[in-house]
Structure 1
Amino acid sequence: MNENNSTTVLPSSQNANQVMWNTNQTSKVVENKTIVYQSEVMGSLMKMIDRVAPSQANILVLGESGTGKELIARAIHDRSGRKNKPFVAINCGALRETLLESELFGHEKGSFTGAYNRKIGLAEAANGGTLFLDEIGELDPAIQAKLLRFIQEGEVYRVGGKDPIKVDIRLICATNRELDQEVTRGNFREDLFYRINTIVVSAPPLRRRKEDIPALVNHFLNNSQHAYLNRGRSVNEEAMKALIRYEWPGNIRELQNVCERLQILSDGHMIMLNDIPENIRNGEAEKDVIAYDPAMTLHELEKRYILKALAHFGGNKTQAANNLGITIKTLYNKLHEYGEFEKFAVHTKPMK
């Protein structure tokens, strides 16, 4: 892919009354998705990707939730010698241990209740290409041991199977955890840690690349599934300043979510300051709104905050987990702990 088309050039403002930030941008395209940037920190990241992609080394992508770690993995794959082979991704935090093993390595017919047919695992399906393991820090110890053997030997055993199956893959892992600290705590195998982090790539949070926000907003507004509404195509200068000023704890995923809501709720072609959600407009004023209450434990505070997040997203656990910066698996465990799981059993508004 041509490096000259990697950046977005934004026009300078001549008149505050003119339409702002409505740009014709060029950007790096990764398969059917897009990496949009003009910041120096992202430019350095893309140069790093270009350097490491041709190698066969295992790569660990670090970054907060919502920073686009899978997009980075796809960019590495598309710049490698395996670009014409499969790119297979699996979220390690979304499945229980038994299901994850079956998804990753496959199973033989009759190997467990419900195994009516032989199933090819995702590691086998990725043969010749790239296997991306997202949220690898969520793996249980038993799966960590099997994954380590797979990396070392280059072969898998299907659940219930006796014969090894040779697999040639390039492994890319991602996590929002500090894996070295997890190793110290005994939650992650040290030998596996050194196997997966031959090269470490860091995805910067959005607050460190704020100069990319106008280009990202433009991209989301003009390429979303709601673009057919023919409104909310551009952003007023004051509204854009508010978007740039906000810290974006949910990173690009949160920004995309906000852009979709703005496009749906906007009255005209231009998004104004009053269209921006209040928590974003007044982000700085709300940084220190939590006062200490001696009668409230940290456990109770966490519970209330998580339940408020679920209520905010209409019971959608995936959106709530993403914006809280935790995995869906952690959210499930918290809901069970609070005795609230049944209220949020489906992605609809919770029961009263």
Structure 2
Amino acid sequence: MPSSVRAYWPSIALHDMDLSPDVLARLAATLPLHPRISLGCHVRDAAPLASLVAVVGSALSCVTLELSSKGVAHGRGKAMSDLLLQRCPRLRDVTIKVEPRRRANDLVELNDALGIVAHPHVEVFKINLLHAAATPRLGHLLAAWLSTAPSRFLQVANVADMDHDGLVVFNVPSLGGFHGRTLPVSLITLEWKSHVNDDQALTDLATAVGRTELKHLACNVFGQLATHPAAAPMLSQLQRLIVSGLNAYHTKVLVVGLSAVPALKSLTLCNCNLASSMELLMETLATTCVHLVKLQVRDPRPTRDGATAVFTGVLRSPHLTSLSMSMRLSDPPAANSTFLTWE
């Protein structure tokens, strides 16, 4: 097999779609063994995708569509979407990346390509519009997928705006606000990094996640979310939490909120100002998050006192086996931050 084909049975990764007939024949011979084939290269055109899908479409499980003005035109967006919908029944993981739309025809092509969101078996969707305006169908398609598909992971990033149909479903931009709607119980991973987080948005978010079985949450307003009773059922079973970009005040709110996640096993704090909260953080982890196994701290202003509080605190966390943190080895101005990892 060429270097563009890598097998980690039962998974096969294809890093090029321009494969010889001999290689395609070998791949076809594996189909009775039910391999999981993923495309490690970005799909920009329908023609090479059609040639590949004709041979191994029934085993294709993971694909990335990259849409641009040059690569998607004259119905190719719809062609790619139709191929995946009709010929790839085992598709489980889809990533869509798109550069900003500037022409009306671009918007039509993007709208057609996003039809893949309607795939009934996809579990993981990642959509990055790179600040392009969303299309008329995106809101409704995502709502339908969340309601009917075996959804496990949804990430929608860098949405500049959505139309009024999208507003009815999600109150965009950035999918902010659910207006009493709930996310599916089966969802296990959620990233929430909206910059619009007023009281109503937080209440809606708490209602949306409360009934889910989330295990992994990345949320820049976790502290505020933890104060809402509607979120309590989800928080009680949360195992992994990532929080980033908090000032000193919101870091204190975060620490208070950690009392709501007794099952937590992994905590990552990135660029959070912990200067006045590190001792309280470690105290809370030791007394409330007693199952914590992994702790990562990336403080933009690490101090000796903070490092001392961490080293003292880990002695009170019997299950902690992995620690990664930033710290200063000398006083300013000569100091630089370095990272310490212990496992």
Q: TM-score, normalised by structure 2?
A: 0.24
Higher share in strand: 2
Higher share in helix: 1
Q: TM-score, normalised by structure 1?
A: 0.24
